[in-house]
């Protein structure tokens, strides 16, 4: 259990992330867990105002012995954000995590779904929630949203006449994302079936079952992941299918169809172009695979190599 001083600081930091930086609930929970682990590591007398650089280094070194480089990197990001907040609020004079290098994690490319698999997800079996679930899939894939952005949408954020979504992304940065025709039609059908909500601030995606007289419950990211998994199982898609994989698919398919990288950056809400550039490597790898399967010279070279390997 973290000390009272640490717990108060963590709660204030979490409120800051929610109100001023629009961090997702998933990220906020992960950061709070990392900070409580630091407090436990430092012992019962831990005070965030007295943490030294050596304390942070020891905590990260201990984490590195047990955890992956990516997880330790996230912990360092949580510490930097937390202590930076304490410095800005006047609770500390200096940030003890400043200058500490992040561990080098292996760079993993996004794993988009094939176009046909995305189409199958939209055509999965029907049930009482099918209109909502179809709209959810079409918006995730058709607009490339983060799952937290999707769940935060209100009715007033949807403009079906113009075919646009008004999205509040990371860092409270707003963007307007166009909706393809299939997503507009799925949303129109979903909203026609559920006329219980009228106010612009009512949530867009809500739970189907609700108590009599109770306000509709907004879907959370866990609900969205469950819906997507269920639809993926219904059509027999292999591997893990989750909302962020649809976002990867959206970006990769746009790039494959010739969209400009800067335009994709704006649509995804990336602050840095380097984040978007990952998809160029994915497209290049997919192009090479297609070449190896389809080009007659590639097939001939592959056959010759196989013949040389035979005894």
Domain ranges of the chain: 4-88, 115-289
Residue 124 has pLDDT above 80, yes or no: no
Residue 189 has pLDDT above 80, yes or no: yes
- Annotated catalytic residue, options 40, 175, 244, 278: 244
Residue 108 has pLDDT above 80, yes or no: no
pLDDT mean over 166-182 = 91
DSSP 273: H
**Residues forming beta bridges with residue 165, ordered by sequence position:** 158, 177
Which pLDDT band, with edges at 50, 70 and 90, does 289 fall under? low
Q: Please say if 247 is a catalytic residue.
A: yes
Q: What is the pLDDT of residues 194-214, one digit of tens each?
A: 766 777 889 999 987 777 667
What pLDDT does residue 294 have? Answer: 53
Q: Please say if 16 is a catalytic residue.
A: no
Which pLDDT band, with edges at 50, 70 and 90, does 273 fall under? confident
- Annotated catalytic residue, options 28, 85, 146, 253: 146
What pLDDT does residue 287 have? Answer: 53
pLDDT mean over 7-23 = 91
What pLDDT does residue 261 have? Answer: 86
Q: What are phi and psi of 215, to 5 degrees?
A: -70, 150
pLDDT mean over 268-292 = 72
Contact 269, 169 (CB under 8 A): yes
What pLDDT does residue 258 have? Answer: 86
- Annotated catalytic residue, options 247, 248, 250, 253: 247
Q: What is the largest CA-CA distance in the chain?
A: 77
Please, which residues have CB within 8 angstroms of residue 20's CB and are 6 or more apart in sequence? 172
Residue 126 has pLDDT above 60, yes or no: no
Tokens 């992330």 belong to which residue? 17
- Annotated catalytic residue, options 31, 190, 250, 279: 279
Q: How many CB atoms lie within 10 A of CB 138?
A: 23
Q: Which two tokens stand for residue 47?
A: 């005070």
Contact 242, 225 (CB under 8 A): yes
* Rounded Cα–Cα distance for residues 143 and 177 (Å): 6
Q: Superfamily for 115-289?
A: Intergrase catalytic core (1.10.443.10)
What is the sign of the dihedral through the CA atoms of 186, 192, 195 and 200?
A: positive
Q: Please say if 270 is a catalytic residue.
A: yes
Contact 152, 4 (CB under 8 A): no
Strands (E), the chain: 158-159, 164-168, 174-178
The CATH class given to the 4-88 domain equals: mainly alpha
Contact 298, 292 (CB under 8 A): yes
What pLDDT does residue 105 have? Answer: 64
Q: Please say if 57 is a catalytic residue.
A: no
Contact 6, 48 (CB under 8 A): yes
Which pLDDT band, with edges at 50, 70 and 90, does 58 fall under? very high
Q: What are phi and psi of 29, to 5 degrees?
A: -65, -40
Q: Please say if 190 is a catalytic residue.
A: no
Which pLDDT band, with edges at 50, 70 and 90, does 305 fall under? very low
* Rounded Cα–Cα distance for residues 263 and 266 (Å): 5
Q: Please say if 75 is a catalytic residue.
A: no
Residue 302 has pLDDT above 70, yes or no: no
Secondary structure (3-state) at 177: strand
Residue 191 has pLDDT above 80, yes or no: yes
Secondary structure (3-state) at 140: helix
**Residues forming beta bridges with residue 203, ordered by sequence position:** 154
- Annotated catalytic residue, options 36, 166, 170, 218: 170
pLDDT mean over 269-285 = 78
């Amino acid at each position: 259990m973290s000390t009272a001083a640490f717990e108060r600081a963590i709660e204030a930091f979490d409120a800051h992330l929610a109100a001023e930086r629009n961090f997702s609930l998933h990220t906020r929970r992960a950061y709070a867990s990392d900070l409580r682990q630091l407090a436990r590591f430092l012992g019962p007398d831990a005070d965030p105002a007295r943490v030294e650089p050596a304390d942070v280094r020891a905590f990260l070194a201990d984490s590195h012995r047990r955890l992956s480089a990516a997880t330790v990197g996230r912990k360092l990001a949580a510490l930097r954000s937390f202590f930076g907040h304490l410095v800005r609020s006047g609770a500390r004079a200096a940030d003890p995590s400043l200058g500490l290098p992040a561990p080098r994690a292996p760079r993993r490319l996004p794993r988009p779904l094939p176009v046909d698999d995305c189409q199958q997800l939209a055509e999965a079996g029907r049930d009482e929630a099918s209109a909502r679930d179809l709209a959810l899939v079409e918006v995730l894939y058709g607009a490339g949203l983060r799952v937290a952005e999707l769940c935060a949408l209100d009715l007033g954020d949807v403009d079906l006449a113009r075919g646009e979504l008004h999205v509040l992304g990371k860092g409270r940065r707003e963007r307007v994302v166009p909706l393809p025709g299939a997503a507009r039609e799925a949303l129109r059908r979903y909203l026609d079936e559920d006329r219980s909500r009228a106010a612009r601030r009512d949530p867009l995606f809500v739970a189907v079952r609700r108590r009599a007289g109770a306000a509709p419950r907004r879907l959370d990211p866990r609900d969205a992941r469950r819906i997507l998994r269920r639809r993926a199982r219904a059509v027999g898609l292999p591997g893990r299918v989750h909302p962020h994989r649809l976002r990867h698919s959206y970006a990769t398919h746009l790039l494959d169809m010739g969209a400009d990288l800067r335009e994709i950056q704006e649509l995804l809400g990336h602050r840095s172009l380097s984040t978007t550039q990952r998809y160029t490597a994915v497209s290049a790898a997919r192009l090479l695979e297609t070449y190896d399967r389809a080009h007659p010279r590639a097939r001939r070279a592959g056959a010759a190599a196989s013949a040389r390997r035979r005894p």
